[in-house]
């Protein structure tokens, strides 16, 4: 299954608009020297690479999964890719489902790091710690383009002038060997480093990168993929009084050996510099989303296994919401101590959480959300909140069928890693505020 594999490092093209080749495409009609333009581009990329560790952006990933109309069947990659060139892939596939992720991304000297938006702490591990399921890749923020120019053994060729939308550009091809590559794929439990090839489109007047396409070498059979193609369209973003090279849009295409495919569309927004007063942390330590300990918070220790009902006060639209988005709710009833005497948290208290999955099945239209609650506000103080789903209550849409012990009732298992999230299914593409979800207090 394609969605079970994670790709870390460089990635490359989906189908991009065709270039208009001049009649003498192999002979540059410009006065700029191709080597000089490529050198200027390299120097710009490496200079931006030195700036990047001082910045972070919000990365939004829309993931579309496609099923072959003829059904899945394992094929040799040569056969499958040849057929894909003969017949446009959109005629062979149908969109089955889509989901959306929103993450904070930053670059360290070891590679790209990720956290949920506003969490303030970048995970030291792989992105799979945040996104355990589905096709996902890193490298779009900075690692991929840096990998093309940082190695000593990368090879480049000038392919001539091309014209796109009336704009003259220089085209170069490149290849990065497996030895120089930082492009990794996780096949089953093993990481494999692979080489890749691609093209660069460069504005010869400014030596700015306009587009980069990358194609992996054929991937190991155990990955269930033939190749991953990525197209990155670049632009300059104003940051800190200077220009910053960043992909405006990135499309990653994962081509499966069984005919299934996935396409991720990646955009960046809200880019900002790290400030001296920032509470961002790398690795262990205090984080922005952790609540500083105090006597009142320490005194509020919720007893375990107490039923809690949280009413959602945020509406969720499947075509806009993303995993990582903040949500709000309120306590329907007060949380009381183990003797059910004193109210530890009053009715109506604010509860803040996060969406962990927002997935839309296309036909029939069905929305699945996974969520967790993270903090509770009592007397103006935010207190860490650990809740687990009360599965005896079941899905709010299924309450009329009785408890989960009812014979013949369908059980939808949470995905791996979602055991502590509330997972709910709704016909249509929207969840209105007012949804009541059932939980139990538990240890963090």
Tokens of 318: 């499947």
pLDDT mean over 43-47: 88
Out of 282, 317, 345, a domain closes at 282
Give the contacts of 375 (CB within 8 A, at least 6 positions apart).
291, 351, 352, 353, 382, 383, 384, 385
289 in a structural domain: no
pLDDT of 28: 45
Among the listed residues 58, 106, 98, the one whose alpha carbon sits nearest the alpha carbon of residue 267: 58
Torsion of CA 129, 133, 136, 142, to 10 degrees: -10
155 in a structural domain: yes
86 in a structural domain: yes
Does 301 lie in the same domain as 276?
A: no
Does 132 lie in the same domain as 165?
A: yes
CB 425 within 8 A of CB 366: yes
Does 133 lie in the same domain as 19?
A: yes
58 in a structural domain: yes
Centre a 10 Å sphere on the Cβ of residue 280 and count the other Cβ atoms it contains: 17
| Domain range enclosing 312 | 295-441
Does 306 lie in the same domain as 385?
A: yes
pLDDT of 109: 64
- The CATH number linked to 434 is 2.40.128
Does 308 lie in the same domain as 168?
A: no
Dist. CA 424–CA 367, nearest whole Å: 8
287 in a structural domain: no
Does 337 lie in the same domain as 239?
A: no
Does 108 lie in the same domain as 216?
A: yes
Does 330 lie in the same domain as 212?
A: no
Going by pLDDT thresholds of 50, 70 and 90, the confidence category of residue 373 is very high
Least confident of 191-200, 233-242, 402-411: 402-411
How does pLDDT run across 90-127, given as a tens digit for each residue? 788 999 999 999 998 887 666 678 889 887 677 555 67
Out of 241, 256, 282, a domain closes at 282
pLDDT of 47: 84
Does 131 lie in the same domain as 81?
A: yes
pLDDT mean over 298-324: 88
pLDDT mean over 276-294: 43
Tokens of 68: 């072959």
Centre a 10 Å sphere on the Cβ of residue 139 and count the other Cβ atoms it contains: 27
Going by pLDDT thresholds of 50, 70 and 90, the confidence category of residue 50 is confident
- The CATH number linked to 223 is 2.50.20
In this predicted structure, the answer to whether residue 241 has a pLDDT above a threshold of 90 is no
In this predicted structure, the answer to whether residue 330 has a pLDDT above a threshold of 80 is yes
Q: Quick one: what percent of the chain has pLDDT higher than 70?
A: 76
pLDDT of 61: 93
In this predicted structure, the answer to whether residue 135 has a pLDDT above a threshold of 50 is yes
pLDDT of 433: 93
Greatest extent of the chain over all pairs of C-alpha atoms, in Å: 86
* Domains contained in the chain, number: 2
Among the listed residues 256, 214, 229, the one whose alpha carbon sits nearest the alpha carbon of residue 76: 256
| Mean pLDDT of the residues in the chain | 80
288 in a structural domain: no
Out of 220, 250, 282, a domain closes at 282
123 in a structural domain: yes
Does 270 lie in the same domain as 316?
A: no
Residue 396 Rama label (left phi>0; alpha psi -120 to 50; beta): alpha
Least confident of 267-281, 283-297, 380-394: 283-297
How does pLDDT run across 26-38, given as a tens digit for each residue? 444 457 899 999 9
pLDDT mean over 124-133: 69
Tokens 């009381």 -> residue = 336
Give the contacts of 138 (CB within 8 A, at least 6 positions apart).
7, 8, 9, 11, 111, 112, 114, 127
pLDDT mean over 189-217: 90
Q: Residues 50, 51, 56, CA angle at the centre, nearest 5°?
A: 130
């Amino acid at each position: 299954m394609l969605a079970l594999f994670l790709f870390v490092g460089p990635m490359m093209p989906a189908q991009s608009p065709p270039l208009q080749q001049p009649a003498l495409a192999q002979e540059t009609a410009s006065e700029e020297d191709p080597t000089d333009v490529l050198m200027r581009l390299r120097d710009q990329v490496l200079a931006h690479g030195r700036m990047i560790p001082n910045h972070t952006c919000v990365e939004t990933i829309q993931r579309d999964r496609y099923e072959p109309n003829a059904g899945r069947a394992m094929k040799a990659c040569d056969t499958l890719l040849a057929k894909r060139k003969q017949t446009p892939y959109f005629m062979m596939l149908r969109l089955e489902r889509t989901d959306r992720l929103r993450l904070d991304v930053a670059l360290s000297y070891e590679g790209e790091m990720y956290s949920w938006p506003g969490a303030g702490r970048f995970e030291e591990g792989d992105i799979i710690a945040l996104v355990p399921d589905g096709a996902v890749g890193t490298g779009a923020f900075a690692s991929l383009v840096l990998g093309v120019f940082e190695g000593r053994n990368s090879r480049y060729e000038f392919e001539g002038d091309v014209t796109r939308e009336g704009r003259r550009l220089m085209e170069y091809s490149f290849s990065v060997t497996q030895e120089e590559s930082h492009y990794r794929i996780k096949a089953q439990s093993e990481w494999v480093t692979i080489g890749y090839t691609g093209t660069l489109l460069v504005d010869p007047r400014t030596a700015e990168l306009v587009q980069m396409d990358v194609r992996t070498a054929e991937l190991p059979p155990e990955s269930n993929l033939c190749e991953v193609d990525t197209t990155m369209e670049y632009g300059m973003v104003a940051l800190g009084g200077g220009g910053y090279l960043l992909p405006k849009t990135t499309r990653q295409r994962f081509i499966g050996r069984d005919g299934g495919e996935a396409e991720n569309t990646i955009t960046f927004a809200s880019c900002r510099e790290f400030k001296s007063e920032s509470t961002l942390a790398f690795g262990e330590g205090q984080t922005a989303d952790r609540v500083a300990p105090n006597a009142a918070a320490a005194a509020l220790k919720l007893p375990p296994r107490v039923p809690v009902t949280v009413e959602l006060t945020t509406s969720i639209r499947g075509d806009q919401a993303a995993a990582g988005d903040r949500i709000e709710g309120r306590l329907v009833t007060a949380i009381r101590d183990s003797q059910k005497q004193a109210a530890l948290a009053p009715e109506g208290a604010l509860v803040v959480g996060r969406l962990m999955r927002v997935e839309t099945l296309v036909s029939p239209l069905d929305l699945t959300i996974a969520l967790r609650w993270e903090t509770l506000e009592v007397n103006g103080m935010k207190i860490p909140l650990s809740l687990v789903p009360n599965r005896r209550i079941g899905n709010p849409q299924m309450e009329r069928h009785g408890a989960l012990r009812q014979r013949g009732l369908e059980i939808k298992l949470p995905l791996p890693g979602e055991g502590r999230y509330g997972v709910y299914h709704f016909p249509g593409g929207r969840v209105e505020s007012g949804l009541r979800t059932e939980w139990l207090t538990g240890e963090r």
